[in-house]
Copies of this chain bind each other. A is one copy, B any other.
Amino acid sequence: MNTKLLGAQDLISLQKELPQWEVQQSKLRRSWKFKDFVEAFGFITRVALLAEAMNHHPEWSNVYSKVTIELTTHDKKGLTNLDLQLAKSINLLG
Contact = CB atoms under 8 A, between A and B. Distances in A.
Interface of A: 34-35, 37-39, 41-46, 48-53, 55, 57-64, 93-94
Contact of A59 (B44, B50, B63): B63
A46 B60 CA distance: 17
B61 A37 contact: no
Given A37-B48, A38-B93, 18 more contacts: A37-B49, A37-B51, A37-B52, A37-B57, A38-B46, A38-B50, A38-B52, A39-B93, A41-B45, A41-B49, A42-B42, A42-B43, A42-B46, A48-B49, A57-B64, A58-B63, A61-B61, A61-B62
B49 A38 contact: yes
Contacts of A64: 57
B60 A62 contact: yes
A50 B61 CA distance: 18
